[in-house]
């Protein structure tokens, strides 16, 4: 029986359904499994060649007991969650360069064209499954730097058990991302455009955390979170590392490096999880100029600085909250240390990890911070050399591999995770490819074009009044269910 506990050690173990529906652990920590399960010896090799849904079934059933979701229902939820992906492989793998073992894995073939679709579909469908069983309703609130909001809105659209409030920082996401939320014809989706967020999505995260921490409020409003605070997100994201590993390796057992454009560290924590399960992985943590993670790998100081708006806006994050899960496992799973460090970080915006933890954190990780200039020149270089169009986030990953050079032995394969479709960021692409060039077909997507012709609908408020505005709006909405 897999149970879930808090990184801060302050609540009794819960089962999978409770961890998913609550999102935040009630003591302010993050849910983690008591033990990270291992893939049974020899089993990994048997999964090679299987399609993604089959690998997902196998891996997810290590974390989800049959009593929580019976195997045939688990299969249905997985199949349903990936039915709207547009590519038969779901996550196609592309070798850019004949001479070098560098691959791009496209994680953006889902309905809203970013990697957030991969775990969000499953999470929302699993929530809906549990809520139907319980005859309950939930109010999902989530902060977004541009991609989580659309993924959640699309996954939740039309669900009877869920109303969803995506909150986004005004002017800090692309128009295309905004329209993905505001033109969705679904009455249970309530996008809110929030003005004056100095620290972008981090400011919104702080409000969401406060609402969850307010005594009694979460119960009254039936709040749930689908940010990567939610265990289910990182759990599902571990599967694409395993599937990607099996797709590129010649021999199961050889090491493979994944290069990941990172913001909140949810995707990279999922990679760590896959490694703990027994897959021989190494990682590059690719930051843009918001380099909290890169700084921590370099100096051992986990320190927040002011947010710098960049061209890769979905990773403009200065408080990568999933890093705490990684630190929890790296410090020997000591909830007292986590409690102290989280408290110090809240008060001073900086913590120095102890030497043992720093050594564990660095094990198998390289890191780098990429400037906007390098992001743009990488988009241009890869387009000219390979006629392949990268979005700015995927370009951060490809640039990171070039900047750091090949892994130690030079033979090891590297997989760059391409996390968004270029059609979500046409302004950056146009700026990169020079104004006189036509937008290449790869930079256009029919769903983005369709949204330009649809009416938009959203509410607007200031960050200072968001807490009361949102509480009122949710109260009004859920009266219908009481």
The residues that touch ligand PLP, with contacts defined as CB under 6 A, are 114, 116, 147, 228, 261-268, 314-315, 393, 419-420
Secondary-structure breakdown of the chain: helix, strand, coil percentages, each rounded to the nearest 5: 45, 15, 40
Nearer to ligand PLP, 158 or 298 (CB): 298
Pairing of strands 162-169, 192-195: parallel
Stretch (H or E) spanning 25: none
The CA–CA distances, whole Å, from 53 to 49, 65, 67, 127 equal: 12, 18, 21, 19
Nearer to ligand PLP, 259 or 315 (CB): 315
The CA–CA distances, whole Å, from 397 to 176, 271, 288, 293, 309 equal: 22, 15, 9, 14, 18
Nearer to ligand PLP, 228 or 292 (CB): 228
- Closest distance between ligand PLP and the C-beta of residue 144, in Å? 9
Residue 445 and residue 113 in contact, taking contact as beta carbons nearer than 8 Å: yes
- Closest distance between ligand PLP and the C-beta of residue 364, in Å? 17
Nearer to ligand PLP, 249 or 396 (CB): 396
- Closest distance between ligand PLP and the C-beta of residue 465, in Å? 27
- Closest distance between ligand PLP and the C-beta of residue 266, in Å? 3
- Closest distance between ligand PLP and the C-beta of residue 250, in Å? 28
Nearer to ligand PLP, 44 or 398 (CB): 398
- Closest distance between ligand PLP and the C-beta of residue 281, in Å? 16
Nearer to ligand PLP, 115 or 383 (CB): 115
Nearer to ligand PLP, 315 or 407 (CB): 315
Task: Return the structure tokens found at 290.
Answer: 């918001």
Angle at the Cα of 421 from the Cα atoms of 419 and 427, rounded to 5 degrees: 115
Give the whole-angstrom CA distance, residue 426 versus residue 62.
40
- Closest distance between ligand PLP and the C-beta of residue 272, in Å? 12
Nearer to ligand PLP, 161 or 174 (CB): 174
List Cβ neighbours of 25 (8 Å cut-off, separation of 6 or more). 5, 6, 7, 8, 10, 11, 31
Burial grade of 92 (CB within 10 A; 0-12, 13-18, 19 or more):
middle
- Closest distance between ligand PLP and the C-beta of residue 355, in Å? 26
Chain-centre distance for alpha carbon 153: 15
Nearer to ligand PLP, 255 or 263 (CB): 263
- Closest distance between ligand PLP and the C-beta of residue 314, in Å? 4
The residues that bridge with 4 in the sheet, in sequence order, are 14, 33
**CA-wise closest residue to 331 among 355, 357, 353, 352:** 357
Give the whole-angstrom CA distance, residue 415 versus residue 399.
12
List Cβ neighbours of 7 (8 Å cut-off, separation of 6 or more). 25, 29, 30, 31, 32, 324, 325, 328, 335, 338
Four-residue CA torsion sign, 125, 131, 132, 134? positive
Neighbours of 356 (CB within 10 A): 11
Nearer to ligand PLP, 161 or 394 (CB): 394
- Closest distance between ligand PLP and the C-beta of residue 126, in Å? 19
């Amino acid at each position: 029986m897999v149970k879930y506990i808090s990184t801060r050690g302050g609540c009794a173990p819960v089962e999978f359904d409770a961890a998913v529906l609550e999102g935040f652990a009630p003591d302010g920590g993050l849910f983690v499994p008591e033990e990270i399960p291992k893939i049974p010896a020899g089993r990994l090799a048997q999964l090679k060649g299987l399609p993604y849904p089959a690998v997902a079934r196998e891996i997810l059933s290590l974390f989800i007991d049959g009593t929580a979701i019976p195997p045939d229902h688990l299969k249905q939820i997985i199949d349903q969650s990936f039915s709207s992906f547009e590519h038969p492989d779901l996550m196609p793998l592309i070798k850019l360069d004949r001479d070098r073992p560098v691959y791009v894995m496209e994680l953006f073939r889902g309905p809203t064209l970013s990697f957030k679709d991969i775990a969000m579909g499953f999470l929302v469908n699993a929530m809906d499954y549990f809520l139907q069983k319980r005859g309950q309703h939930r109010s999902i609130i989530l902060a977004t730097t541009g991609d989580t909001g659309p993924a959640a809105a699309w996954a939740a659209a039309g669900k009877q058990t869920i109303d969803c409030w995506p909150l986004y920082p005004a002017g800090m996401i692309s128009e295309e991302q905004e329209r993905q939320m505001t033109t969705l014809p679904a009455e249970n989706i309530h996008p809110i455009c929030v003005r004056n967020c100095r620290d972008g999505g981090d400011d919104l995260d702080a409000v969401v955390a406060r609402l969850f921490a307010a005594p009694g409020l979460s119960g009254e409003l039936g709040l749930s979170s689908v940010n990567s605070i939610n265990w289910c997100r990182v759990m599902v994201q571990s599967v694409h590392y395993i599937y990607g590993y099996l797709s590129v390796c010649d021999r199961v057992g050889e090491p493979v490096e994944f290069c990941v454009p990172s913001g909140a560290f949810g995707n990279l924590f999922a990679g760590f999880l896959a490694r703990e399960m027994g897959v021989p992985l190494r990682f590059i943590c690719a930051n843009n100029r918001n380099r909290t993670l890169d700084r921590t790998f370099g100096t051992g100081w986990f320190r927040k600085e002011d947010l710098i708006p960049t061209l890769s806006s979905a990773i403009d994050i200065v408080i990568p909250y999933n890093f705490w899960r990684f630190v929890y496992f790296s410090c020997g799973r000591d909830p007292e240390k986590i409690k102290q460090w989280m408290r110090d970080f809240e008060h001073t915006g900086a913590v120095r990890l102890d030497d043992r933890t720093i050594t564990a954190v660095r094990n198998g990780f390289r890191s780098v911070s990429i400037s906007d200039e390098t992001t743009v020149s990488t988009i241009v270089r890869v387009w000219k050399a390979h006629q392949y169009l990268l979005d700015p986030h995927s370009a951060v990953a490809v640039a990171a591999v070039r900047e750091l050079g090949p892994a130690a032995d030079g033979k090891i394969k590297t997989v760059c995770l391409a996390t968004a479709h270029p059609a979500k960021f046409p302004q950056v692409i146009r700026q990169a490819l020079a104004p006189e060039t036509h937008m290449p077909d790869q930079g256009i997507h029919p769903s983005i074009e369709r949204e330009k012709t649809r009416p938009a609908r959203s509410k607007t408020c200031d960050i200072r009044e968001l807490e009361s505005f949102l509480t009122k709006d949710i109260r009004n909405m859920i009266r219908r269910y009481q």
